[in-house]
Copies of this chain bind each other. A is one copy, B any other.
Amino acid sequence: MPLMNDVKWVDTLSFRLGVLGALVADRYAADLTAHDLKPKHVGLLSALDVAPGASQLEIAKLMRVAPSLVVTLADHLESTGAVERLRDPADRRRQLLYLTDRGRELLAWCTDRALVLDAELTAGLTPDQAAALGAAFDRLAAAHGLPVRGRTRRDPT
């Protein structure tokens, strides 16, 4: 439970953002253990939902992690039947990843848990305050090149 600390702390948005981000990340990670998943697994499932049939290297770039980590993540998800690996017939070096029905179920569950967490998180906020927060996040994400919503198309097939 790396929550940084709970001292007065430097009185900045950045710190509070970091602390709160770590808080929700921890809580979500705790939820995920129920299905033997870690946040990165959800990242992979989510990436495949957006880009079905992506190769492992594409996923690695999308997730900004090392390709070798994608191997581990995909291994686990494949072993539990959440994703399928198919050799690209056109380029037999590439492993194309697809969500199975089980994988889609799992992703739906993960999304649901995130929504529950959202509800908890914003319990102390009025609906319009929560909406304003969401809008601010959108602007922040957009301003920093994080395509939180919408696709990042960089690989025209």
Contact = CB atoms under 8 A, between A and B. Distances in A.
- Majority SS of interface residues in chain A? helix
A146 B8 contact: no
A118 interface: yes
B136 A133 contact: yes
Interface residues of A, number: 71
Interface string A104-146: 0000001100110110011111000110111011111111101
Contact of A148 (B19, B51, B63): B19
A125 B111 CA distance: 28
Contact of A139 (B15, B43, B125): B125
Given A6-B146, A18-B39, A23-B144, 12 more contacts: A1-B64, A5-B65, A7-B43, A10-B111, A12-B117, A13-B134, A13-B137, A14-B118, A16-B138, A20-B141, A21-B24, A22-B25
Interface of A: 1-25, 28, 39-40, 42-43, 46-47, 49-51, 62-65, 110-111, 114-115, 117-118, 121-125, 129-130, 132-134, 136-144, 146-152
Closest 6 CB pairs of A and B: A21-B21, A124-B143, A5-B63, A16-B137, A12-B114, A18-B25
